[in-house]
């Protein structure tokens, strides 16, 4: 459209440009010509101004080529119709390799290219282009900026400089600098304002002043006494095996994957540290992903104490400035090791030599918003792009990783599993005792704590040791239920069950954040909203309730530390609670799943699980995997030191394979059952799974669009039956005959159906689940179907490839 000029002068090749309009989230790049004058500046990663319709828009160069040929966005375009890039406003913010990764993610996860690209931009973005009133455009650099610090140091001559007797200030300055450079700020703090003295000695060539970049976000990683700094003298046989496998994968230089399948405390982190040491020795860099939750605790300290200043850290609690500085440390090469949550994959490490994903099975590696990528898959792609190895570590590997190692390869890379079944030294795996709550109940006990757990707690107190108790629930009591009709009050805007918070007497919606006062029940009356019964009772125990019971039970000199979402809301609270636990002589740490991971306190001899059934009963095909991971992880907190550890799991379901596997330390009991169930019910890793979510305020419009997408998907897959709006029936309960059934040969479309949460924030929600054979181009089909189905005003679509939440 518009009368924008067409290139008239000579053109030095062409570029693909992604236009950066957040609201439109344009998925496709557009091709432009590169005028002679911009030849040098117009590189991949640069921010440019281009004509777009009648306007000028800002965008990023994502590809460059001499001819239009295969350039993305150039389909059907003739050179004579190509418009020129108007201006290059900022130097490259990302590399060509990063752009390639963005293209791959956009296709794989059916996400707009611009959204994928945003992950790769420096924190604070690459600046923006603003239109002035007179129609001209101006580039505004990012508002997040770096800060510099002035460092003062002695020059070569300065070292032999002797101040005159009465020059006291000069003496002070020389003394302060005798051990090395000091910042002006520090000098002035210690000695009063020395600015004049610094200036005069600078003129005489005694000292120099240098502006240096300050790296915010490097302070205070850990002060826990038990953080291990030095490398062990001797590696275990398992650790040596793992390192050789990693060396072979590195040698192959083709993105090979090593799964380090090691029990908790077997020394996986030591393997990562040793492998990174080797990579650094070759002048290459390394990227380590750990679950967000373990980033505060000891992990970062372990990496920083081993690799010092060369470590950049990314987690969600960094300020914008800190994030930018950590990023620049990486970009400048000052940091060659990055430790962070999933997004750390996108920081600009040059010459990447190793990627590590610790706790590979963790759900937090899957991003919940667009692009809905899985860090494991992106890391595998990145390892291939860089020709480096990918190391996955876990005590409870995902079914996906196990299946790929079983097959030996995946997506052109070799997948190898290395087992580390033992803990180093004298540390042993803890004894696991299952406390059958049915029996406790039958014997008349109404206590939260079973007899075995009470006895074990007594022993811990007597021996002045430490215990960790897991209670993976939040709030005081979880929900209200009508004892007469079974009704659970739900949110008026969503259909989720409301959580009851005792301290505030409120019912809270964890989907939209709405809060309802319960006493005197203005919204719900004083009775059941459905049948009018007055017998609304609390169901389920909250961590606060368990805490109260513990305090009543234990002597006063035993520290009870509660760690859950409520007690760790403020910055640094998490760390402070851990320090309290570390410092206490005899203590019980009670917490939600956040205490299950990564903690390494050698004095912990008892781990208790208040009720394992909450985890087991989640309505999700990964519930077993998650419950197993949770229990195995929390059990792993016990017996990491000299004293043997003990684990007590309270449950009403002692015969579940998950419980039996944790009890015997024999994972195969669980794995066989779990894989059998998934094979039977056609779940990953035997199929690929996608979830297409459609939502809108207008129920009919949303329903119309979801039906249309399902139809288009059928066309795409060559399936005939017309879609019907019917509920998806979940199958695959225990006790079925496994392995008799054929694997999926053609895609299946389930739904469309209303979502489990039918309404959220006043929007009606529908979804389609697609199951596809492993080799199928699921992303391509989804992308084609969704784009053919078109859009409806006010209706949103989210495509989730390799979905976790259905
Ligand atoms: P994981 O990451 O598998 O849970 P870690 O690497 O944290 O295991 O190791 C558990 C504990 O064992 C740590 O305190 C660690 O310092 C120690 N450790 C690891 N490897 C060795 C070894 N080869 N010899 C002695 N101690 C070791
Ligand atoms: Zn009722
Ligand atoms: Zn709600």
Q: Ligand 3 centroid vs 517 CA: distance in angstroms?
A: 14
- Per-block average pLDDT, block size 10, for the chain (806 residues)? 48 87 65 92 93 86 89 78 90 89 94 89 80 80 78 87 86 85 83 86 90 72 50 89 97 96 91 96 95 71 84 86 89 92 91 96 91 96 95 94 93 95 81 89 81 95 94 61 70 70 73 67 57 71 86 94 84 85 93 79 90 70 85 84 86 88 90 87 88 95 95 89 43 33 75 80 91 90 93 93 84
Residue 151: its pLDDT value, please?
86
243 vs 272: CA distance, rounded Å: 9
Q: Is 388 annotated as a binding residue?
A: no
Q: Which residue from 357, 396, 424 has its CB within 8 A of the most atoms of ligand 1, so it is best to mutate? A: 424
Q: Whose CA is nearest to atom 9 of ligand 1?
A: 267
Residue 651: its pLDDT value, please?
86
Reading across the β-sheet that carries 55-65, which strands appear in turn?
A: 30-35, 11-19, 55-65, 47-52, 87-90
CA-to-CA dists, residue 686 to 424, 676, 723, angstroms: 35, 10, 24
Q: Whose CA is nearest to atom 16 of ligand 1?
A: 228
CA-to-CA dists, residue 453 to 359, 433, 434, 531, angstroms: 28, 9, 10, 40
Q: Ligand 1 centroid vs 428 CA: distance in angstroms?
A: 12
| Ligand 1 neighbourhood includes 232 CB (under 6 angstroms) | yes
Q: Whose CA is nearest to atom 4 of ligand 1?
A: 265
CA-to-CA dists, residue 59 to 21, 47, 69, 315, 436, angstroms: 8, 6, 21, 28, 62
751 vs 754: CA distance, rounded Å: 8
374 vs 188: CA distance, rounded Å: 49
Residues near ligand 2 ion, CB 5 Å cutoff: 482, 484-485, 487, 528, 530-531, 533
Q: Is 491 annotated as a binding residue?
A: yes
Q: Which residue from 230, 264, 270 has its CB within 8 A of the most atoms of ligand 1, so it is best to mutate? A: 270
Q: Whose CA is nearest to atom 23 of ligand 1?
A: 235
Q: Ligand 3 centroid vs 493 CA: distance in angstroms?
A: 5
* CA–CA–CA angle 406, 409, 412 (5° rounding): 165
Q: Which of 262, 38, 270, 706 is nearest to 48 (CA)?
A: 38
Judging by DSSP bridges, how do beta strands 413-420 and 30-35 pair with one another? unpaired
Q: Whose CA is nearest to atom 11 of ligand 1?
A: 265
pTM attached to this predicted model: 0.81
- Would you say the ipTM is above 0.90? yes
Q: Which of 790, 799, 793 is nearest to 697 (CA)?
A: 793
* Residues facing 18 on adjacent strands: 60
CA dihedral 456, 460, 466, 468 (to 10 degrees): 20
Q: Chain-centre distance of CA 191, in angstroms?
A: 45
Cβ(766)–Cβ(701) below 8 Å = no
Q: Which of 692, 737, 702, 716 is nearest to 781 (CA)?
A: 716
| Residues whose CB falls within 8 Å of the CB of residue 194, separated by 6 or more in sequence, listed in order | 169, 172, 173, 184, 187, 188
CA-to-CA dists, residue 712 to 418, 693, 795, angstroms: 44, 15, 17
Cβ(404)–Cβ(247) below 8 Å = no
Q: Is 405 annotated as a binding residue?
A: no
Helix (H) or strand (E) holding 458, with range, is helix 451-462
37 vs 43: CA distance, rounded Å: 13
State the greatest distance between any 2 C-alpha atoms of the chain, in Å, as a whole number: 99
Residue 485: its pLDDT value, please?
67
DSSP assignment of 223-270 equals --TT---SPPSS--HHHHHHHHHHHHHHHHTS--EEEEEE-TTSSHHH
Q: Whose CA is nearest to atom 17 of ligand 1?
A: 267
CA dihedral 181, 183, 187, 190 (to 10 degrees): -100
Residues near ligand 3 ion, CB 5 Å cutoff: 491, 493-494, 509, 511-512, 514
Q: Ligand 3 centroid vs 515 CA: distance in angstroms?
A: 8
Nearest-atom index, ligand 1, CA of 270 = 6
44 vs 65: CA distance, rounded Å: 10
Residue 235: its pLDDT value, please?
92
Judging by DSSP bridges, how do beta strands 479-482 and 466-470 pair with one another? unpaired
Q: Residue 106 corresponds to which tokens in the numbers above? A: 């956009």
Q: Chain-centre distance of CA 45, in angstroms?
A: 25
Q: Ligand 2 centroid vs 489 CA: distance in angstroms?
A: 9
SS3 50: strand
| Ligand 1 neighbourhood includes 334 CB (under 6 angstroms) | no
Residue 483: its pLDDT value, please?
66
Q: Residue 242 corresponds to which tokens in the numbers above? A: 């793992």
Cis peptide before 520 (omega within 30 of 0): yes
Helix (H) or strand (E) holding 190, with range, is helix 184-191
Of the bound ligands, which one is closest to the alpha carbon of residue 266?
1
Cβ(177)–Cβ(207) below 8 Å = yes
Of the bound ligands, which one is closest to the alpha carbon of residue 536?
2
| Ligand 1 neighbourhood includes 266 CB (under 6 angstroms) | yes
Q: Which of 108, 191, 202, 93 is nearest to 142 (CA)?
A: 93
Residue 480: its pLDDT value, please?
73
| Ligand 1 neighbourhood includes 421 CB (under 6 angstroms) | no
Reading across the β-sheet that carries 587-591, which strands appear in turn?
A: 431-436, 646-651, 604-609, 466-470, 587-591, 559-563
Of the bound ligands, which one is closest to the alpha carbon of residue 632?
1
Q: Ligand 1 centroid vs 270 CA: distance in angstroms?
A: 6
Q: Residue 652 corresponds to which tokens in the numbers above? A: 């009403």
Q: Which residue from 228, 267, 396 has its CB within 8 A of the most atoms of ligand 1, so it is best to mutate? A: 267
Q: Residue 120 corresponds to which tokens in the numbers above? A: 């790769």
Q: Give me Rg for the CA atoms of the chain.
A: 30
255 vs 669: CA distance, rounded Å: 32
Judging by DSSP bridges, how do beta strands 87-90 and 47-52 pair with one another? antiparallel
| Ligand 1 neighbourhood includes 396 CB (under 6 angstroms) | no
| Ligand 1 neighbourhood includes 239 CB (under 6 angstroms) | yes
Q: Is 287 annotated as a binding residue?
A: no
């Amino acid at each position: 459209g518009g009368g924008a000029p067409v290139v008239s002068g000579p053109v030095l090749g062409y570029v693909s440009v992604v236009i950066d309009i957040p609201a439109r989230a344009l998925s496709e790049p557009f091709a432009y010509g590169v005028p002679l004058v911009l030849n040098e500046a117009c590189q991949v990663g640069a921010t440019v101004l281009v004509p777009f319709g009648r306007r000028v828009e800002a965008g990023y160069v994502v590809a460059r080529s001499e001819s239009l040929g295969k350039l993305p966005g150039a389909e059907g375009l003739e050179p004579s119709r190509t418009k020129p890039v108007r201006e290059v406003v900022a130097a490259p913010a990302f590399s060509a390799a990063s752009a390639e990764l963005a293209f791959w993610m956009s296709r794989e996860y059916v996400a707009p290219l611009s959204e994928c690209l945003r992950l790769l931009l420096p924190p604070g973005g690459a600046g923006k282009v603003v239109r002035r009133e007179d129609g001209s455009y101006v580039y505004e650099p990012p508002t997040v900026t770096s800060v510099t610090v002035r460092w003062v140091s002695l020059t070569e001559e300065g070292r032999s400089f002797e101040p005159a007797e009465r020059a006291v200030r000069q003496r002070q300055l020389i003394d302060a600098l005798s051990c090395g450079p000091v910042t002006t700020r520090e000098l002035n703090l210690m000695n009063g304002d020395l600015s004049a003295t610094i200036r005069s000695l600078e003129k005489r060539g005694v000292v120099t002043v240098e502006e240096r970049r300050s790296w915010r976000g490097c302070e205070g990683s850990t002060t826990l006494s038990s953080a291990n700094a030095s490398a062990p003298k001797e590696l275990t046989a398992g650790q040596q095996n793992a390192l050789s496998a990693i060396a072979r994968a590195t040698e192959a230089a083709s993105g090979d994957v090593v799964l380090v399948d090691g029990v908790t405390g077997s020394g996986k982190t030591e393997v990562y540290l040793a492998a990174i040491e080797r990579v650094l020795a070759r002048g290459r860099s390394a990227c380590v992903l750990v679950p967000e939750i373990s980033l505060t605790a000891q992990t970062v300290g372990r990496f920083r104490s081993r690799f010092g200043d060369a470590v950049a850290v990314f987690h969600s609690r960094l300020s914008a400035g800190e994030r930018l500085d950590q990023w620049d440390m990486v970009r400048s090469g000052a940091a060659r090791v990055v430790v962070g949550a999933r997004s750390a994959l996108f920081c600009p490490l040059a010459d990447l030599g190793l990627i590590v994903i610790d706790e590979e099975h963790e759900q937090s590696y899957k991003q919940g918003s667009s692009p809905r990528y899985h860090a494991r898959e992106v890391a595998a792609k990145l390892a291939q792009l860089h020709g480096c190895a990918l190391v996955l570590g876990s005590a409870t590997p995902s079914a996906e990783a196990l299946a790929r190692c079983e097959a030996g390869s995946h997506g052109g890379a070799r997948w190898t599993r290395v087992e580390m079944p033992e803990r180093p030294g004298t540390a042993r795996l803890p004894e696991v005792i299952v406390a059958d709550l049915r029996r406790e109940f039958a014997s008349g006990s109404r206590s939260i704590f079973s007899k075995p757990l009470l006895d074990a707690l007594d022993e811990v107190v007597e021996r002045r040791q430490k215990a960790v108790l897991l209670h993976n629930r939040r709030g005081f009591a979880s929900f209200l239920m009508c004892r007469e009709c079974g009704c659970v009050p739900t949110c008026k805007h969503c259909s989720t069950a409301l959580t009851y918070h005792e301290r505030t007497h409120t019912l809270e919606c964890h989907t939209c954040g709405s809060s309802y006062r319960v006493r005197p029940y203005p919204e719900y009356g004083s009775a059941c909203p459905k049948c009018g019964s007055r017998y609304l009772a609390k169901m389920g125990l909250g961590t606060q309730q368990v805490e109260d019971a513990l305090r009543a039970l234990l002597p006063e000199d035993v520290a009870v530390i509660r760690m859950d979402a409520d007690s760790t809301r403020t910055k640094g609270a998490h760390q402070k609670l851990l320090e309290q636990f570390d410092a206490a002589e005899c203590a019980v740490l009670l917490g939600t799943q956040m205490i299950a991971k990564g903690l390494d306190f050698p004095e912990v001899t008892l781990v208790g699980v208040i009720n394992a059934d909450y985890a087991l009963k989640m309505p999700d095909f990964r519930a077993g995997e998650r419950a197993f991971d949770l229990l195995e992880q929390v059990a792993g907190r016990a017996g990491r030191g000299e004293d043997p550890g003990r684990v007590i799991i309270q449950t009403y379901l002692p015969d579940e394979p998950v419980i039996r596997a944790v009890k015997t330390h024999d994972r195969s009991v669980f794995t066989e059952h779990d894989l059998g169930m998934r094979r039977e019910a056609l779940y990953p890793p035997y199929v690929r799974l996608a979830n297409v979510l459609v939502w809108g305020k207008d129920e009919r419009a949303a329903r119309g669009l979801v039906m249309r997408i399902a139809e288009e998907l059928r066309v795409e897959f060559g399936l005939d039956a017309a879609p019907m709006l019917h509920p998806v029936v979940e199958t695959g309960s225990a006790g079925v005959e496994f392995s008799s059934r054929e694997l999926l040969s053609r895609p299946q479309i389930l739904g469309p159906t209303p979502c489990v949460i039918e309404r959220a924030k006043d929007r009606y929600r529908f979804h389609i689940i697609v199951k596809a054979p492993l080799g199928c181009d699921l992303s391509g089909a989804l992308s084609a179907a969704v784009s053919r189905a078109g859009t409806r005003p006010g209706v949103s679509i989210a495509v989730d490839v390799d979905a976790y939440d259905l």
